[in-house]
Amino acid sequence: MEKDWIMDRVKTKYFWDMKAKRYPKPFSEKVYPKAVNLIDKIKKAGVNFKNQRILEIGVGTGIYTLPMAQEASFVYAIDCSEEMSKILLMEAEKRKIKNIHLQVGFWDEIDTDVFGLRKNFDLVIAVMTSAVKTREDLLKMEACSKRWLSYVGWGRKRRNSLMEEVFKLHGLELCPPPGVLMVDQTLKSLGRSFFLEFFEDSWEWEGSIEEALEDLSGFIEVEGGHPDNEKILRVLHRYETEGLIKHTTFVEEGLIIWRID
The CATH classification of domain 2-156+176-204+249-259, taken from the options 3.40.980.10, 3.20.20.70, 3.40.630.30, 3.40.50.150: 3.40.50.150
Of 88, 53, 55, 57, the residue nearest 72 (C-alpha): 53
The reported pLDDT for the residue numbered 8 is 78
Helix (H), strand (E) at residue 141: helix 135-144
Angle formed at CA 252 by CA 249 and CA 256, multiple of 5 degrees: 135
Amino acid 235: pLDDT: 97
Q: At residue 254, does pLDDT exceed 60? A: yes
pLDDT digits over 132-165, tens only?
A: 999 999 999 999 999 999 999 999 999 999 999 9
**DSSP-based three-state secondary structure for 30:** coil
pLDDT above 90: residue 3: no
pLDDT grade, residue 2 (50/70/90)? very low
Residue 76 pLDDT > 90:
yes
Residue 1 has pLDDT above 80, yes or no: no
Q: What is the per-residue pLDDT across 216-249, written as a single tens digit (0 to 9) for each? A: 999 999 898 999 999 999 999 999 999 999 999 9
Would you say the pTM of this structure is higher than 0.85? yes
| CB count in 10 Å sphere of residue 203 | 14
Has residue 173 got a pLDDT over 70? yes
SS3 193: coil
Residue 38 DSSP code: H
Alpha-carbon gap, residue 22 to 215, rounded angstroms = 10
The sign of the dihedral angle between the CA atoms of 118, 147, 60, 228 is positive
- pLDDT of amino acid 239: 95
Summarize pLDDT for 104-117 with one digit per residue, the tens.
999 999 999 999 99
Q: SS3 sequence, 88-125?
A: HHHHHHHCCCCCEEEEECCHHHCCCCCCCCCCCEEEEE
